[in-house]
A and B are shown apart, each in its own frame.
Chain A
Amino acid sequence: MDIISQLQEQVNSIANLALNTIGTLQRDAPPNRLSPNYPEPPAHPTEDGANFSEEPKLMSASLVKAAKQFDVLVASLPISETGEEAQIKRIAELQAENDAVGQELQKQLEAAEMELNQVQELYRQATDNCLNLKKPDVN
């Protein structure tokens, strides 16, 4: 896949990771104590256990890794600060060179074609002569 599509895929995956991170944390967070007046909220030991404190670490680690991967991809962009006009100029130069080389190729091909025809004509004459020489024997 080309580098720009990879970058776009990486942006989308960062978005997905952020969505999952924030969403899971918000959905699964244990209730918090609002004010000293209210009693402690009842804990749910069944769902959380030891997994819950690990999940934010894992998810944030993968988020940061995705961001670093994006930086690596950006660094490998083959952009030189040439700008649009320089590229268009280079395209015009290449087109002119391409036309010139194409015409030379055409000339060479025509000359080779002519030489081929000449050789074929000579060969035909030679074989005709051979046949003519052999004719009295065949009869």
Chain B
Amino acid sequence: MATATYPPPPPFYRLYKDYAQDPQSAPEPPPPIEGTYICFGGSYTTSDVLPSLEEQGVRQLYSKGPNIDFKKELRSLNGELQLHILELADILIERPSQYARRVEEISTVFKNLHHLLNSLRPHQARATLIHILELQIQRRKQAVEDVKRRREEARRLLNESLATLGGQ
């Protein structure tokens, strides 16, 4: 891969010289990338899945399982956090040199909290999608009703005018 300070644009534009006359003479756009790709020297991945806590090396404090009761777990984590802060204050009074473990426990609680909140995001995305679809269905039904009503009205007007002309 050649690198330069001000690289020229890629020379693909020459292939599209006759695109207006013959759209088939130019190459198709490249297919969507799958897997990992490199962009400006950094590698990115196309699958945006949230890595679990164990992969990040953090102990998981809330219960695992297929369906997690988010509200209960968030509340219990909040209580544990307050408890740990209190423990830190106590240990600073009595044995100040042993603060490191308490601080580490507090940071674990915070990481668990944030991981729980991040794992709520896919649920939120699906709920947003459901909401948008419902709105769209409602709008389409409204449009169908409107079109039907207008057609009926137009037909009625035509019949009226026909009757008027016929009576003349």
With an 8 A cutoff between CB atoms, is A81 at the interface? yes
A74 to B74 CA separation, bound complex (whole angstroms): 7
Main secondary structure of the interface of A (DSSP, over half): helix
With an 8 A cutoff between CB atoms, is A40 at the interface? no
Chain A positions 34 through 50: 1 when the CB is less than 8 Å from some CB of chain B, otherwise 0: 00000000000000000
Complex contact A87–B130 (CB within 8 A): yes
Tell whether A67 pairs with B82 under 8 Å between CB atoms, given A74-B74, A77-B71, A98-B136. yes
Interface residues of A in 80-127 (CB under 8 A from B): 81, 83-84, 87-88, 90-91, 94-95, 97-98, 101-102, 104-105, 108-109, 111-112, 115, 119
Complex contact A14–B126 (CB within 8 A): no
In which size bucket is the chain B interface?
35 or more
Tell whether A70 pairs with B106 under 8 Å between CB atoms, given A87-B123, A98-B140. no
Tell whether A105 pairs with B78 under 8 Å between CB atoms, given A4-B120, A7-B117, A98-B133. no
Complex contact A22–B126 (CB within 8 A): no
Complex contact A87–B82 (CB within 8 A): no
Count A interface residues, CB 8 Å.
43
| Residues of chain B at the chain A interface (Cβ within 8 Å) | 66-67, 69-71, 74-75, 78, 81-82, 85, 88-89, 92, 106, 110, 113-114, 117, 120-124, 126-127, 129-130, 133-134, 136-137, 140-141, 143-144, 147-148, 150-151, 154-155, 158
> Could you name 7 residue pairs across A and B whose Cβ atoms are closer than 8 Å?
A67-B81, A84-B122, A94-B130, A94-B134, A95-B133, A101-B137, A112-B147
